A = this chain, B = another copy of it.
Amino acid sequence: MAGTVTVPSASVPSTPLLKDELDIVIPTIRNLDFLEMWRPFFQPYHLIIVQDGDPAKTIRVPEGFDYELYNRNDINRILGPKASCISFKDSACRCFGYMVSKKKYVFTIDDDCFVAKDPSGKDINALEQHIKNLLSPSTPFFFNTLYDPYREGADFVRGYPFSLREGAKTAVSHGLWLNIPDYDAPTQMVKPRERNTRYVDAVMTVPKGTLFPMCGMNLAFDRELIGPAMYFGLMGDGQPIGRYDDMWAGWCMKVICDHLSLGVKTGLPYIWHSKASNPFVNLKKEYKGIFWQEEIIPFFQKATIPKECDTVQKCYLSLAEQVKAELGKVDPYFVKLADAMVTWIEAWDELNPSAAAVENGKAK
């Protein structure tokens, strides 16, 4: 671990939510100047920076942030041979940060994401909204037409069964993006000028049994509830695809949340996504994924996890097995990915021994 810095938080607003229970995970290859804009909101929290690419490079972190930083050498040293499950030269490497965090909650954000404004012109504290999302229940079992019934000024509408009004624990909060929308390369190419200007003032639960495209740009989750399912797969250097890391995690995570009756929310908060990535580079990274997703999504739509899987780890290992058996037929890449999924769980349990022990105790 390189460069742990702790600073007093004198300049920071009072009582930030979950200050000692949440880590902010940032994958990056550049100086983190984008943090300046986030200072009022992020400074009270601990950052875990996962440096991608050349480990010899020095990443500048603005003064006053409390952080730990890991480069590839750190990852290799900490995980040994199991480091093979962590992607290189792809923002998928961020999931290493989830693994080394010791906190209950994680918020992850890309370094090209800035503070957005709400329609009244006020800066949006994205992290605060994620925390609100995570700390209030979800409603995966029945749809509420007035969106999140736990928000102020809202409730369950007529016809919503009373037995379901306690909701489910929320495992994941998926935030959105103003300005540059999260489009694939073909859509970027066809609509180079499209900007997302629509502020939709809603948080909603993705219903049970429904898959969605989870984007890793602006995402928070409860590590204790779902952490081991948040593996971002094998992408980038030496792999046949990129830009499917968060999608992969989202599909796996959602199937497991559905099995364990956990909730997933999407909607607020928005961040300001500043710059579209190069669509030609993206197309190269994506094109196999564009074919494969036509088979991957039906696979996940049909996947069922055996009843006896009562921990995220067991669910995830069951999924890994199914990936190997079913998607292995689509391409040998998925055999490698399934093996990496197993390695990921082994590494997770090694770095999180107490959680693993609790899980094992629970399983008996």
Q: Which residues of A contact B (CB under 8 A)?
A: 119, 142-147, 151, 153-163, 174, 176, 181-184, 186-187, 191, 194-202, 206-215, 243-244, 246-247, 250, 266, 286, 290, 293-294, 297
Q: Are B162 and A294 in contact (CB under 8 A)?
A: yes
Q: Are B200 and A244 in contact (CB under 8 A)?
A: no
Q: Are A215 and B153 in contact (CB under 8 A)?
A: no
Q: Are B196 and A145 in contact (CB under 8 A)?
A: no
Q: Are A181 and B155 in contact (CB under 8 A)?
A: yes
> Residues of B contacting A247 with CB < 8 Å?
158-159
Query: Out of B159, B202, B246, B294, which one reaches A213, CB within 8 Å?
Result: B159
A295, closest chain B residue (CB): B161
> Residues of B contacting A209 with CB < 8 Å?
207, 209-210
Given contacts A145-B176, A194-B153, contact A184 B159 (CB under 8 A): yes
> Residues of B contacting A157 with CB < 8 Å?
181-184, 213, 215
Q: Are A198 and B145 in contact (CB under 8 A)?
A: no
In the bound complex, how far is the Cα of B194 from the Cα of A176, in angstroms?
A: 28
Query: Out of B142, B200, B206, B290, which one reaches A212, CB within 8 Å?
Result: B142
In the bound complex, how far is the Cα of B158 from the Cα of A246, in angstroms?
A: 10
Given contacts A142-B297, A297-B161, contact A153 B198 (CB under 8 A): yes
> Residues of B contacting A214 with CB < 8 Å?
159
> Residues of B contacting A200 with CB < 8 Å?
147, 200-202
In the bound complex, how far is the Cα of B158 from the Cα of A183, in angstroms?
A: 5
Q: Are B196 and A154 in contact (CB under 8 A)?
A: yes
A160, closest chain B residue (CB): B213
